[in-house]
Amino acid sequence: MATDPELLSLKIDYKRNPMLPWPFQIQRVKHETEDTFTVELQPLGALEEFAFQPGQFNMVYVFGVGEIPISISGDPAKSRMLVHTTRAVGTVTKAMDKMRRGDILGIRGPYGTPWPIDHANGLDVVFVAGGIGLAPLRPALYEVVAHREQYGKVVLLYGTRTPLDVPFRQELENWRARFDLEIYVTVDRAMSGWRGNVGVVTNLISRAPFDPRNTMAFVCGPEIMMRFTTMELHKRGVDNEHIFVSMERNMKCAIGLCGHCQFGSVFVCKDGPVFQYGKIKDMLVKWEI
Amino acid sequence: MKTFIFERSELDRLVEILKRRDYKVIGPIVRDSAIIYDELTNINDLPIGWTDEQTNGMYRLKNRDDAAVFGWTVGPQSWKKFLFPPIQKIFATHKSPKGLDLQNSKKQTSQESAQTKYAFFGVRPCDLNAISIQDKVFLGGPFIDPVYERKRTGNFIVTVNCGQAGGTCFCASMGTGPKAGTGFDLSLTEVLNDKHHYFIVEVGTELGSDVLKSIKCIKATDENLTTVNEICSKTVKQMGRLLDTSNLKSILYQNSEHPRWERTAARCLTCANCTMVCPTCFCATIEDVTDLAGKQADRMRKWDSCFTLDFSYIHGGSVRASAKARYRQWMTHKLASWVDQFGTFGCVGCGRCITWCPVGIDITEEARAIRENQS
């Protein structure tokens, strides 16, 4: 496979046409929850590795159906396996949900700005995630856990709809069992047997164990959740320069040419998706920008 | 800058020479009661003796009482349809036993590279600026649009300075006309008086100078240069519209919740006409087209508009659901955020969005209303 001349020749075209995807083969499909699934992909042809930085995304193309941006949810240290986690809610993700091991997807990327993990050296790190917003944060979690000694306290605050809507469940259990990670999960609606928190994720911020003066916060979830999370972080004393959020917008090209992802004066695809909160706060507090 | 004059009769030769040099010569043509741009087969295709009348939501062609070749302003089309085609195949794939075969996309890109050289004949200074704005968008990086790059390469541009302004023109406000500054190979000014019909031509490039060698022309005098300036300053005085651009970016950013947006949205049909006729609008969407058997899939890039609901759709709904948000996005982009993104306004004052708006919304009037009553 690695020497397939037809696929090798793609490499030239890939440079000439930035809209041309690279074929990747599905190695595994894992259903995380009722509507959320993870695909593990391997590149075909001349491409053997796929390096990326936590927080970046790919354009994922399903033959004849369409192409959408999906954040990368895998471990950045494992560049031979590309991992995406998404909810089956739209035309393309529903088509992906039907795909199985051996099927082929087109991938363009990685695109966008990463979580600035380097800047968190020596600081406490707080991850605040809502719903599928945990997926773009997971690579950053991997990275922080892999170099755990470089950070102060590491906290994950995660909010989702019900106890059945928690993805990466085993992994979260494993992380929670460690003494050097603080993992808190809250749900909108509990059910019998649930011993965790109930309520919105922002409720967890006031009691979370971190030193607000020495903290870097990485936030990803629905816009409204990110707005209220930022308010709570401000109350604790974390300033705008130490809060990073990941934005979502419609994207057709991911290379700053189609215009769809404009958010005020920025293009989410090339200036984001990860932004320092201070850079976009004026736009985030307005409706329909 | 070298300047010459040549007789009206030599204009035909100029088109001929460009054709002989293997250019596909695109110029203004009267079609379907409008002046549009298409391939010039001969010089008589030009809108000789025609003029246009324009105001909010109104465009009419009229006969002139002289034989001016460029006695009109701009029609519904711009040159962007050649450089950034309304529909463009991005790549084609077909289904293979493996699931997805992208190999024939290679054939497609190489086919496209055998490509036509365009000569744009009769480009208005506003539209010349629009081309340079789109150059920044598509070629400014970090990613470059290969389609635009291919079609833009090797263009020969003949601009024509405006001897009269249209009813919705405001290039003088945007600093983009009525006289072309740079970016052309040749720049013409048409002079027509009782006895004499001729062109004053400024040479912009070596190539332009070379092309001009095949035409009977004489060196321009200082008097000719004065004529050009007189014609252009007369046009400035005729501008149908004015737009005060001072401090405009921050005024629009600061007034994103101005009640005016709501009032304009009540009239706006969100029909997208303004974005389709705009020479700088660059938004596009991608459509997947499959054959009946589902074996072949083409990805087509098509012009898109921020006025549609689909444009901002993400799971859960459209980001800009209201007409107010969509009109605000468009106008704020043109006159404010474009400056942050590309270092220039996204508006050249051609007035097309005013003329072709079915309800006659006027961008200059909207900007003025917000400026004069800031919240």
DSSP labels, A110-172: EESBPP-GGGGTTSEEEEEEEGGGHHHHHHHHHHHHHTGGGSS-EEEEEEESSGGG-SSHHHH
Same domain, yes or no: A125 and A186: yes
A46 belongs to a structural domain: yes
Residue A255 forms contact with B (CB below 8 Å): yes
Domain that holds residue A141: 117-246
Residue A66 forms contact with B (CB below 8 Å): yes
In DSSP notation, B2-13 reads -EEEEETTHHHH
Residue A12: per-residue pLDDT: 42
Among the residue ranges A36-50, A198-212, A267-281, B153-167, the one predicted with the least confidence is: A36-50
pLDDT band at A146 (very low <50, low <70, confident <90, very high): very high
CATH code (residue A74):
2.40.30.10
Residue B256 forms contact with A (CB below 8 Å): yes
Residue B88 forms contact with A (CB below 8 Å): no
A278 belongs to a structural domain: no
A288 belongs to a structural domain: no
A93 belongs to a structural domain: yes
Same domain, yes or no: A100 and A178: no
The domain tally of chain A equals 2
CATH code (residue A136):
3.40.50.80
Quote the Cα angle for B211-B213-B218, to 5°. Answer: 125
Report the complex ipTM: 0.93
Task: Quote the minimal CA–CA distance from A267 to chain B in Å.
Answer: 9
Same domain, yes or no: A126 and A194: yes
Q: Walk along chain B (375 residues) in steps of 10 and give the mean pLDDT of each run.
A: 93 95 96 96 92 97 96 97 95 73 50 75 98 97 91 97 96 97 97 94 97 95 96 95 97 96 97 98 96 89 97 94 98 98 98 98 98 90
A196 belongs to a structural domain: yes
A224 belongs to a structural domain: yes
For residue A202, which amino acid is it?
A: T
pLDDT band at A96 (very low <50, low <70, confident <90, very high): very high
- Which residues on A lie below 8 Å from B316 (Cβ)? 222
Same domain, yes or no: A172 and A198: yes
Q: Would the CB atoms of B100 and A248 count as touching at under 8 Å?
A: no
Residue A23 forms contact with B (CB below 8 Å): yes
A269 belongs to a structural domain: no
pTM of structure: 0.94
Q: Which of A15, A26, A250 to mutate to test the interface with B (most CBs of B within 10 A)?
A: A250
Same domain, yes or no: A17 and A133: no
* Cβ-proximal residues to B156 (8 Å cutoff; 6+ apart), any chain: B18, B21, B23, B117, B118, B119, B120, B185, B207, B208, B211
Same domain, yes or no: A79 and A177: no
